[in-house]
Structure 1
Amino acid sequence: MKKLVMILLASVLTAMLAACGTSGEDGKKTAASGSADEKKTLTMGTSSDYPPFEFVDTAKSDEIIGFDVDLANLIAGELGYEVKVTDIEFNGLIPAIQANQIDFVMAGMTPTEDRKKSVDFSDVYYTAKHMIVSSKNSKIKTVEDLKGKTVGVQLASIQEDKAKDIAKTVDIKIEKRNRIPELIQEIKAGRIDAAIIEDTVANGYFKNNPDIKGVTMNGNDEDAGSAIAFPKDSKLTKDFNKVLNEKLKNGEVDKLVVKWFGGE
């Protein structure tokens, strides 16, 4: 009996030691594999007033959705990251990068030479045109028709630069607002005569605002392309650019364009 008890105790002790050993060994492996497998999070800064690039469908949720959000998730997911989207006024996006508050920006942002002094950019992933938006009964059809008019633009946008270029040859007064909906309301209230907005974005406002219209501006709008902004010398720029170009070539970006902008 004594011998049997000793055998049982020895077996239990052996099992406990094995379990402790396994627990420690597996614990290390689990922690290591967990940190390796666990997706890291990147914070994306955007300005959620720019449908279909980024916006909130308040009828469904308070989540920021859109073309840029889908594209960010597509690229980041390929690189093993999850994306957290944070809403910032457009003119505060580059300062937020510089203050290390966000990891990158996707907000229909154009890689101008001035912005390149502060941040690095990916290749352009989408190109649109500028549009003059005005009230439905307006007679504005060309840039020349803006003479003597008050023209609204989003603060710190490429359209602000465009308006400044127009002002060199056409007598206009420029009014700046933080967000696109403010420009739409200013037109509807008659406080400004027109606004310069990216055509894809402007088209998104016409459905719910039948009292406004838009005319696409002629000319070279290659400078109206959208790119991803990163902190200076960020490793993410090269990594994102590699995946972006793969997705541009294999048609995945085109599928997102059709989803959000329509067309084939």
Structure 2
Amino acid sequence: MMKLKRFVPALCTALTCLLLLTGCGGDESSADSTKTAAANTGNTLQAVKEKGVLVVASSNDAPFAYLDAKNNNAFSGIDADIITEIAKRLGIAKVEMKHVPFENLLIELNNGTVDMVTDAMYIKPERLSKAYFTNQWYREGEAVVIKKDSAIKTKEDLKDKTIGGQKGMTFLETAQKWQQEGKVKEVKVFNSQAELMMAVNTGKIDACITDGIVAGYTLKQNADLALRILEPYEPESSGVIGAAIRFADKDLLAAVNDELEKMRADGTLKAIYDKYNLPENYRVLDAAAAATPIQK
């Protein structure tokens, strides 16, 4: 899910920036040993309040949770706005993001070097076996991105095409299922959204499958990018998004959910949806429908 710029040279520049951001975001803080100890005893909420800093893991994923190079690397995005507001209401002054590859996010969480994962992560049974998830933040589905001049008109036109997906993401599984069913010829795997979109833009692949919110954001921000979303198209892999929290941290889970539901009730969550122009069917405004079952 990443920030993309105009034209191929700019896309390459964006990839370079992302590598630099990886270097910055990957540095462990001096308090990592303290965090690990707190994580093992379930005292993360208390430790975070005392320190005044909540550390979250993300794959640096615009428009969800990323470091905005245009704004002094400020923590930005939909997930960033939600967790920053929750932290503020909990009396935690600062939220820091640690850049972690998407496929390693839950590993990093359970290693105790971060407090939460906030990166548009789908709440899925296999993930609920590895961590708690908060109540639902919003819903999302996939989109297929193609070149503006592509002859592809419908999903059926992908039958003899090569498509791409990002490692560790639900949508890659969807693409691989299509290949098994003979609906696409080949699936290529990429490590980041930037690489994925550049591959379509340069013709290395015919299309890619990615987050609908990411696709809309990218094309809105980059009007000169020679890509478009395949329409009409009915998402197959729609799901719900939440933040992941270690099993030991029931107090943190309860506190985050409590503030989240207050935001849902007082209109703050809706205002964040509005800010990022989320489609109506992506919004979760009914508290009764938002609860995530506790799996452990």
Quote the RMSD (CA, aligned, Å).
2.3
- Please say if residues 247 and 253 of structure 1, whose CA atoms lie closer than 8 Å, have aligned partners that are also in contact: yes
Aligned mate of 2:226, from 204, 211, 221: 211
Aligned mate of 1:45, from 45, 57, 67: 57
Aligned mate of 1:137, from 149, 152, 165: 149
CA gap 1:37/1:168 in 2 versus in 1, 3 angstroms: closer
- What SS does the aligned partner of 1:190 have? coil
Distance 1:68 1:239 in 2: 17
- Please say if residues 127 and 226 of structure 1, whose CA atoms lie closer than 8 Å, have aligned partners that are also in contact: yes
Match of 1:174 in 2: 187
- Please say if residues 120 and 233 of structure 1, whose CA atoms lie closer than 8 Å, have aligned partners that are also in contact: no
Distance 2:122 2:169 in 1: 8
- Paired amino acid for 2:206: D
Aligned mate of 2:209, from 192, 196, 205: 196
Structure 1 residues 125-150: Cα deviation after superposition (integer angstroms, max 9, x where no partner):
11122100011111223322211222
Match of 1:78 in 2: 89
Q: How does 1:69-148 map to 2 (within 5 A)?
A: 69-81=80-92, 82-148=94-160
CA gap 1:172/1:94 in 2 versus in 1, 3 angstroms: farther
Match of 1:249 in 2: 265
Match of 2:75 in 1: 64
Normalization by structure 1: what TM-score? Answer: 0.78
CA gap 1:36/1:97 in 2 versus in 1, 3 angstroms: closer
- Paired amino acid for 1:79: L
- Paired amino acid for 2:179: A
Match of 1:55 in 2: 66
Q: Does 1:163 align with 2:179?
A: no
Distance 2:160 2:226 in 1: 22
- Paired amino acid for 1:252: T
- Please say if residues 132 and 197 of structure 1, whose CA atoms lie closer than 8 Å, have aligned partners that are also in contact: yes
- What SS does the aligned partner of 1:85 have? strand
CA gap 1:37/1:117 in 2 versus in 1, 3 angstroms: closer
- Please say if residues 52 and 261 of structure 1, whose CA atoms lie closer than 8 Å, have aligned partners that are also in contact: no
CA gap 1:100/1:89 in 2 versus in 1, 3 angstroms: same
- Please say if residues 46 and 107 of structure 1, whose CA atoms lie closer than 8 Å, have aligned partners that are also in contact: yes
CA gap 1:37/1:243 in 2 versus in 1, 3 angstroms: closer
Distance 2:236 2:218 in 1: 24
Q: How does 1:217-232 map to 2 (within 5 A)?
A: 217-219=233-235, 221-223=237-239, 225-232=240-247
Distance 2:138 2:132 in 1: 17
Pick the structure with greater CA Rg.
Answer: 1
CA gap 1:94/1:262 in 2 versus in 1, 3 angstroms: closer
- Please say if residues 91 and 178 of structure 1, whose CA atoms lie closer than 8 Å, have aligned partners that are also in contact: no
Deviation at 1:220, TM superposition (A): 5.4
Aligned length: 228
Q: Does 1:259 align with 2:243?
A: no
- Please say if residues 142 and 236 of structure 2, whose CA atoms lie closer than 8 Å, have aligned partners that are also in contact: no
Deviation at 1:165, TM superposition (A): 2.9
Deviation at 1:57, TM superposition (A): 3.5
- Paired amino acid for 1:227: G
User: Percent of aligned positions with the same letter in both sequences?
Assistant: 25
